[in-house]
Amino acid sequence: MEKNSLVRESIKSVIKKNFSIILLMIFIIFAFVISSLLPPQILRYIIDNNLAPRNNEGLLLLAYLYMGAIFLIGLFDLAKETLLTIIGQKITKEVRMKMMEKLEKINAMFFSKNESGKIVSNFTNDVDAINSMFTSVIIGMIIDCFKIIGVVVSIWLFSVKLGIIAVLLLPIIYYITRFFQKRMLKAQIDNLVSVSKVNNHISESVKNIRMIKLFSKESYMESNYNEYLVDNYETIERVTFYDSIFSPIILVIRSLIIALIVILSSEQLNFLGVSVGMIAASIELISNLFTPIENLGMELQNIQQSISGIYRVNEFYEISEDAKDSVDLTNILGSNNLSLSFNNVTFNYEDDKNVLENIDFKIKPLERITFVGRTGVGKSTLFKLAMGLLKPSKGSITINGINVYNIPNSEKRKIFGYVDQSFPMLSGTVAEQISLKDNSVTFEQVKESLDFVGLTDYIKTLENGYNTEVKKDNLFSQGQKQLLAIARAIVTNPPILLLDEITASLDSITEEKIITVLQKASQNHSILTISHRLSSMISSDKIIILENGKIKNSGTPETLLKSDDWYRNHIELEKLTWN
Ligand code: ATP
Ligand code: MG
C-alpha cells in the first residue's frame, strides 16, 4: 500500500463530500486576510484627511467604517474557525472510523504482541495531530503567510524604505520569538511529564493500597511522591517564568520598533517621506506582524509532530490483516450437528517456540471433551484456536469442513459460547451485560439465561432489577461474575460451549448446581471444558491429556483410569485432598 494512503484517502473523501463547505472556507479565509488589512488603511485616511487638517467632515462615518471593519474581521474569523473545526472534525471522524474498521480486521495475535497503549495513542493523539495538521498547521500557515505578505505589501505601498524596514524586521522578530517559544515548549513538556508522574503515583498508590498496607510500603510511596512533587514544582516554575516573560518582551520589541519609525519619520530626519496617517497605519500594521510570526514558529514546530502522527496512523493502517475467505455458513448456523476437528495443528506465539504441536482430534456432535494438563501447557491457547481467534501456524481447524478462522466475528456468537474466569463488563445495564447490546437477543432470552445460572433472585434485589446500571465493579462478587459470564455465553444458545476453568471461583454448592445445569445443557451442545480439578468436572465422554504441547493420551475416563498413570494418580490425589 502507498504511504500516507489512509490519511490522504480520508482527506480526499471529506473534500469530495463537502466541496461547497471547502469553497466557502477558502473564500472566508481570503476575506479574513484582506479585511484584516482594512482598519490601518481607514486609520491612515482619517488621520490624513480629517485629523491632520483638522477637518470634521465625514468623520463620524469614517469612525463607523473603522468599527465596521473590525467587526467584519471578527465575523470572518468566527466563520473561518467554525468551518475549520467542522472540516477538521469530519476528517478526524473519517480517519477514526476507517481505523476502527481496520481494528476489527486485525488478527488477534497482533494484540498479544503490541501494547494496547500504543493503539490507544494511534486513535487519540495521532489522529488529533492529523486534525491539527489540517486545521492549524496547513491552513494556519497559509493564513499567516498571507497576513505577513499583506502587511509588508501595504507598508511597501506607503513607502519603499518603510517596506524594506518591515522586511528586515521579519527575521528578527522570528528569531526572538522562536528563542522563547522553544524554551517555553521544553518547559511545558517537562511539566507534562512531571504532572503525569505525580498523577500516576496517586493512582498507583490508590490501586495498590491494600498491598502497600500489607507490606508496609507507605514510607516508600511517600518519599517517591515527595520527589515527584518537588520535580513538578520546579517545572511549573519554569513554565510560569517563560509564560510571564514572553509578553513583556514582545511589547518591548514592539515599542522599540514604533520608536524607531517615529524617529525616522520625524521632521528633522524626514527619512521615510510619508504622511502622518501612513506612519500611524504602518505602526498598526507592524504591530499586526507579531501574531502571525509567532504562530508561524509554532506551526513549523507542529508540522514535525503532525507528520509523525500521520506516519503512525498510516503504519497502523498497513498492519497486515489475515484475509478471511468468505464462507457459506448456511449449513452450520442453527444446527447442533457440528463436529469440530483439529487437523495436525501447530501453533506458536513467538517465532521459535511451538506452544502446541501436531494436535489432531475430532469432536463428534454433542460430545463432551475435557482437556487436562499442567499450567501453561496451552489449554487456553487451544480454545482460542478452536474459536478462530488465533491462526494455526500449521494445520487447520474446521467445523463440518469450514475453516473456523474464516468465520466472520459477527457470526461467532451463534456458534461458540466461551466462558473463562474473566468477565469484562461493559457500560450499561445488567441485562446488557448478557445481551452485549445485541439486538437479536431478546429480553426473554436474557431472563432465561440468568435464570439458568441461578442469578434471578439476586438481580431482583437490585435497585432497578435487570435494568440496574452497572457502574461499580463490586455490584457482583467474583463467583456471581462467573455466573454472568456463563449466562452471556449461553444466551444465544450456541451449539458449542467452551468452558475454561469456570468452577474455580465458585463455592462447592454453586459449582455442583452449575455442573448439573450444564450437564443438562450438554444434551444438545458439544462441550469442551478445561479443568484442573478432575473430580469436579462435568462428566465427559473423552479426556484429552496435554503435555509439552502435544496430546499425551486420550480416551474415556474409564480407560484412562486403567491405562494412564498420571491420570490415575491425579484422581487419587484429589480424592485424598477433597475427602
Ligand atoms: P493455565 O492452566 O495456567 O491456564 P494454559 O494451559 O491455559 O495454562 P496458555 O494460557 O494456553 O496455558 O499458555 C500456554 C503458553 O503460551 C504459556 O507458556 C504462555 O506463556 C504462552 N502465552 C499465552 N498467551 C500468550 C500471548 N498472548 N503471547 C505470547 N505467549 C503467550
Ligand atoms: Mg488457561
Residue 131: CATH number of its domain? 1.20.1560.10
- Does ligand 1 lie within 6 Å of residue 53's CB atom? no
The whole-angstrom separation of Cα 382 and Cα 371 is 10
**Secondary structure of 356-394 in HEC code, one letter for each residue:** EEEEEEEECCCCEEEEECCCCCCHHHHHHHHCCCCCCCE
- The span from the CA of 87 to the CA of 14, in Å, is 8
DSSP string for residues in 272-286: S---HHHHHHHHHHH
Claim to verify: residue 187 and residue 282 sit in the same structural domain: yes
Render pLDDT for 41-63 as a digit per residue (tens, 0 to 9): 999 999 999 888 888 888 899 99
Q: Are residues 390 and 256 part of one domain?
A: no
Q: How far is the CA of 495 from the centre of ligand 2 (A)?
A: 22
Whether residue 369 is found in the same domain as residue 505: yes
Examine residue 161 and state whether it is found in any structural domain, yes or no: yes
Quick check: CB of 376 below 6 Å from ligand 1? yes
Whether 375 and 297 share a structural domain: no
CA distance 126 to 333: 41
pLDDT at 558: 87
Ligand 1 pocket test, pick from 345, 379, 501, 550 with the greatest ligand atom count within 8 Å of Cβ, gives 379
Atom 26 in ligand 1: residue holding the nearest Cα: 112
Q: Measured between alpha carbons, how far is 145 from 346 in angstroms, rounded to an integer?
A: 61
DSSP string across 203-225: HHHHHTHHHHHHTT-HHHHHHHH
Task: Tell me the pLDDT tens digit for each residue of 102-117.
Answer: 888 887 777 777 777 7
Return the CATH number at 528. Answer: 3.40.50.300
Q: How many CB atoms lie within 10 A of CB 84?
A: 20
Average pLDDT over residues 541-551: 91
For the segment 215-242, the average pLDDT, to the nearest whole number, is: 91
Are the CB atoms for 14 and 83 separated by under 8 Å? no
DSSP state of 422: -
Residue 477 included in any domain? no
Sort 469 into a burial class: Cβ within 10 Å, 0-12 / 13-18 / 19+: middle
The response to whether residue 381 sits with its C-beta less than 6 Å from ligand 1 reads: yes
Q: Are 363 and 399 in contact (CB under 8 A)?
A: no
d(CA 37, CA 430): 62
**Is 198 among the domain residues?**
yes
Asked if residue 36 is part of any domain, the answer here is yes
Flag whether the pTM goes above 0.85.
no
pLDDT beyond 70 at 135? yes
From the alpha carbon of 350, which atom of ligand 1 is closest?
29
Report pLDDT digits (tens) over 451-501. 988 899 999 998 889 999 888 777 888 888 888 998 999 898 899 999 998
Specify whether 386 is located in the same domain as 261.
no
Instruction: Based on the fold, state whether residues 276 and 358 are members of the same structural domain.
Output: no
| Rounded distance from Cα 355 to ligand 1 centre (Å) | 8
Ligand nearest to the CA of 384: 1
User: In whole angstroms, what is the distance from residue 484 CA to residue 477 CA?
Assistant: 10
Neighbours of ion ligand 2 (CB under 5 A): 380
Task: Tell whether 101 is covered by a domain.
Answer: yes
Residue 485 lies in a domain: no
CA neighbor of 287 nearest in space, from 266, 249, 258: 258
**350 in the same domain as 313:** no
Q: Which residues of 261-291 are buried (b: 16+ CB within 10 A; e: fewer)?
A: beebbeeeeeebebbebbbbbbbbbbebbbe
Domain boundary (283, 317, 351) is at 317
Q: How far is the CA of 373 from the CAs of 26, 501, 566, in angstroms?
A: 68, 12, 10
Residues 266 and 226 in one domain: yes
Mean pLDDT of 363-368: 90
**Number of domains forming the structure of the chain:** 2
Select from 112, 345, 355, 499 the residue to mutate for testing ligand 1; criterion: most ligand atoms less than 8 Å from CB: 355
Q: Is 388 found in the same domain as 247?
A: no
Domain stop point among 317, 350, 374: 317
Asked if residue 230 and residue 363 are part of one domain, the reply reads no
In a domain, residue 444? The reply is no
Instruction: Give the C-alpha distances (Å, rounded to integers) separating 10 from 13, 22, 78, 311, 559.
Output: 5, 15, 25, 14, 62
- Could you give the percent of the chain with pLDDT greater than 90? 36
- Specify if 112 maps to a domain: yes
CA 460 centroid distance within chain: 37
Domain boundary among 253, 284, 317: 317
What average pLDDT does the structure give for the chain? Answer: 87
Looking at 43-52, 262-271, 531-540, which range is the least confident one?
531-540
Q: For residues 352 and 203, which has the higher predicted lDDT (pLDDT)?
A: 203
Report the 3 state secondary structure along 32-56: HHHHCCHHHHHHHHHHHHHHCCCCC
Do residues 290 and 406 share a domain?
Answer: no
* Position in ligand 1 atom list of the atom nearest CA 546: 6
Residue 431 and residue 193: Cα distance in Å, rounded? 41
Contact 162, 263 (CB under 8 A): no
Q: How far apart are the two ends of the chain, measured CA to CA in Å? A: 64
Atom 24 in ligand 1: residue holding the nearest Cα:
381
How many angstroms is it from 177 CA to the middle of ligand 2? 59
- Ligand 1 centre and the CA of 393: distance in Å? 16
Enclosing domain of residue 85: 5-317
Q: Residue 416 Cα, ligand 1 centroid: separation in angstroms?
A: 21
Same domain, 301 and 346: no
